[in-house]
Amino acid sequence: MRALAALVSLAWPLGAVPALDATANSTKYTVLEMYAAAKSGDDVSSPGNVDLFDAAGLAKYLVTEVVVETGKAAERPTRDKGIDTIVKYRIRVRNNMSSSDVNVQAEFSKYVPFENGALVTPADAEMFARSGDLVGVQSYHPPHGDVRYPLQRTFYWFSLNGPCPNQPDGQKSSNCTTYQPGLVPKKKSQVVAGGLCKRFFTKNIPDGTPGCSYYIEKVETAKLDSVVGITDQDCGGRKCADWGDFRSHCSNATLSFTYSGVKYCKEYDFPDCISSCQDACKPQNEVGIPFWTGRCDPARNEERAAMIEKAFGGSQTDSYYTTNPRCDQYGPMCNKPVPDAGVAYCHRDASGVCDACYVPGTTHPASPRPPSQVACRYDLFLNKKLPQYKDFLPKCASSCSGACSLSSESAACCVYIGKCKRTWQQEDWGSCDADCGNGTRYRKVSCPFEDIFGPCDESTRPANSTDCRGDTCPWSKDHFGNWSECDNGCGNGTANQSLICQCPDDCPLGDKECEKSPKPPQPSRPCFPQGKAQGFCSECPAEGGDCTKCAKGFDLQDTSCRRSKRVALATYQVEAPGLSLKSEWLASAFVPAFKDALLGATNVSVDVLNLTDSPAVASLLAARALRALADNSSVYVAVAAEGEDDEDLAQLKTKMANNLDQMAKSLPQALAQHGCTPDHSCQLGTVGVSLLREEQMCPEGQAWNGNSCGMPGPGPKPPGSGFPTWAIGVIVVLILLLVAAVVAWTCGTCKRNQDPRLLA
């Protein structure tokens, strides 16, 4: 308050503060909604010597004091203090406004806590002895409310005194007298008999006189179990009857715990955050029924208060706004505003209590902003039924030429003074009201701040409905569409048959009209890409791309397949009348059927490397000319089998060439087992199988020499390389002749030189 007083003195010279219009309202009392937590059987019709709450304050009290498990006895038969009922009061309040004790929130005394019908702090009795019956209030302003229960707005606790507030229940008679240890106000003969006004004529009560500081207009009750959802919990296949039933029989394992060998269920607990929602608080350890969870989330706490109000048909507090006394009549808290700073205003907030507030976005905002204040309600200055501070409108920093909005402080200030442009506001479209076929969807279109500025221009109103199509039509379970492409571009894969959406009008939106319906199982069948060009690759993306997996005996290195083990390769030609891979079911069944037939005939398990019905492609696989019957069609299959050692690799060569007639006989049956049946217009007659090529491959760096894998030796030079053989022969003959000539010449010379010597 000292900070506010300083701001006031700067804005208005002392003694020169303009007078506010203090026109009285139709009542001198304030109508509020207050709530209490009680137990069944309590007399709640005449509250006195009790503490009450607004909806947010009640939620805070219940979750932090009553329902939390930590610190409570596991075997207790009821909630703390037996609380099982919420009571809502509509109460008129008028304190003795001449008393110096009525200086809190402009209309109340200080809040005093009661327990068992008596003051918790005996010294508080002096206030009642001094001023008689009073209604008190305690405000919890954000962000300085309760660290256990953060809120975005102020919440309140109220205290209502009853007879002899200094004596607990059971120690005072129904009519306190001066001969009992009651409480007698100074200079008065009356004993403090309570502020509840019980006069016959109720038009102008309460009037603030002794025994008449509040009057109960209406009392409503609701079971706490129903409000918070205890009766919606499952207790072994049935709804829980009440808290006790839930405590012993709830089916939710996350809520159960065991104590002394007995299973219990907890309504709510937050052991890490018992004392605070800050510091070491770990939200993941919060457990409880949905109504209570999210205690450290201000938005969830706002929702909790709204749910309590909704249980009683919603809050009516705002309907009393224009009939309750004006806040601007109270001083000094509320009647010396500072327009350019936006402070020293008061409003009645959502709880109906006069409270100090500020206007954001002014030219010289207070710095720091006054503590424990919230933004004023936006109709404070322009409400036609209750104009307040009309001569003290805030001075906004913005030029106020934009659209009306509360999205920023500068924009919000313009709303307070009514200088902004209004446009219709629309929410997102709702869901279509038809599950299947034509329907309509709606959205909420509203005129913002209509209570202040009046209606918007109807000619610019956006549509609040539009045509739509349902998205929950059924998928056909008996009819299906086209087959998908193979999901593997380099080997064995799967193709799926598309589903058909059953919707009226030929489904203008296609499958979107069935997207929220459960899908039946899709038919699928094996597939193999024909004429693939990735060599020994067995898996690669269907849309094209690098190899991701190799056939048996090969390792993937830098997207290429390298030999790592011994592998036997073979290329087969399969002939039959009408055999064609253009037949979808035959193409689907051929690879798994061929592998089965080959395994049955040769006892060799293979990977299929390539499949084609094109002789041009097959000729690249075969080392000799292809033969084909004039009236037959052919399919060519390249396969690979892995050998464990040299002996096994040699045997594979023999095995893969034997029993081809047996394989030919078993192939039609294998095709039928994999879907090539007359029902699918797929059937083969006589089949012929021939082996076109065989090859043995060794691990990288080795070669097959006919019997084993070893290091490759030097081989013959290919024709046409180096000197021809005849040229080498000629050179050898010439060298021999040259040597003979040299020898002959040498011998002749020696003989001539020796003859004279012999002769001598």
pLDDT digits (tens, 9 = 90+) for 283-336: 888 999 999 999 999 999 999 999 999 999 999 988 888 889 988 888 778 888
Strands (E), 54-98: 85-93
Indicate the pLDDT class of residue 626, thresholds 50, 70 and 90: very low
Over residues 386-397, mean pLDDT: 90
CB 224 within 8 A of CB 86: yes
Q: Rounded to whole angstroms, how far apart are CA atoms 618 and 102?
A: 104
Six token digits for residue 247: 């405590």
Q: Is residue 587 part of a domain?
A: yes
Over residues 516-535, mean pLDDT: 87
Domain match, 155 and 101 both: yes
Per-residue pLDDT at 721: 44
Per-residue pLDDT at 727: 53
Domain match, 44 and 190 both: yes
Q: Is the dihedral of CA 230, 232, 237, 240 positive or negative?
A: positive
Domain boundary among 454, 469, 484: 469
Q: Is the dihedral of CA 509, 510, 514, 518 positive or negative?
A: negative
Per-residue pLDDT at 185: 57
Per-residue pLDDT at 190: 54
DSSP helix/strand/coil, 56 = helix
Q: Is residue 256 part of a domain?
A: no
584 CB-contact burial (10 Å; exposed 0-12 / middle 13-18 / buried 19+): middle
Read off the pTM. 0.60
> Has residue 378 got a pLDDT over 50?
yes
pLDDT cut 70: percent of the chain above it = 85
DSSP helix/strand/coil, 18 = coil
**82-122: per-residue pLDDT in tens?**
999 999 999 999 999 888 899 888 899 999 999 999 999 98
Indicate the pLDDT class of residue 49, thresholds 50, 70 and 90: very high
Q: Is residue 152 part of a domain?
A: yes
Domain match, 518 and 555 both: no
Domain match, 579 and 459 both: no
Q: Is residue 740 part of a domain?
A: no
Domain match, 521 and 617 both: no
Q: What is the CA radius of gyration of the chain?
A: 49
End-to-end CA distance of the chain: 158
Domain match, 482 and 568 both: no
What 3 state SS string does 235-281 have? CCCCECCCHHHHHHHCCCHHHEEEECCEEEECCEECHHHCCCCCCCC
pLDDT cut 90: percent of the chain above it = 58
Domain match, 571 and 495 both: no
Residue 69 CB coordination number (10 Å): 18
Q: Is residue 397 part of a domain?
A: no
Per-residue pLDDT at 174: 64
Per-residue pLDDT at 126: 86
Q: Is residue 322 part of a domain?
A: no
> Has residue 621 got a pLDDT over 80?
no
Domain match, 88 and 147 both: yes
CA 625 to chain centre: 65
**400-422: per-residue pLDDT in tens?**
998 898 889 999 999 999 999 88
Domain match, 499 and 457 both: no
Domain match, 519 and 551 both: no
Domain match, 101 and 44 both: yes
- CB hemisphere CA count around 636 (13 angstroms): 21
**571-586: per-residue pLDDT in tens?**
999 999 888 888 889 9
Q: Rounded to whole angstroms, how far apart are CA atoms 298 and 59?
A: 12
Cis? peptide before 143, omega within 30° of 0: yes
Q: Is residue 252 part of a domain?
A: no
DSSP helix/strand/coil, 395 = coil
Strands (E), 108-191: 109-110, 114-115, 118-119, 135-140, 155-160
Domain boundary among 258, 280, 309: 309
Domain match, 544 and 608 both: yes
Which residues fall within 8 angstroms of residue 546, CB to CB, at 6 or more apart?
A: 540, 559
Domain total in the chain: 4
Domain boundary among 239, 274, 309: 309
Six token digits for residue 245: 């039933």
CA 425 to chain centre: 27
Question: Which residue range is the domain that position 462 belongs to?
Answer: 425-469
**188-240: per-residue pLDDT in tens?**
545 577 889 988 788 889 999 888 999 999 999 999 999 999 999 999 999 99
CATH code for the domain of 599: 3.30.70
Q: Rounded to whole angstroms, how far apart are CA atoms 269 and 208?
A: 43
Q: Rounded to whole angstroms, how far apart are CA atoms 273 and 263?
A: 24
Q: Is residue 613 part of a domain?
A: yes
Per-residue pLDDT at 707: 87
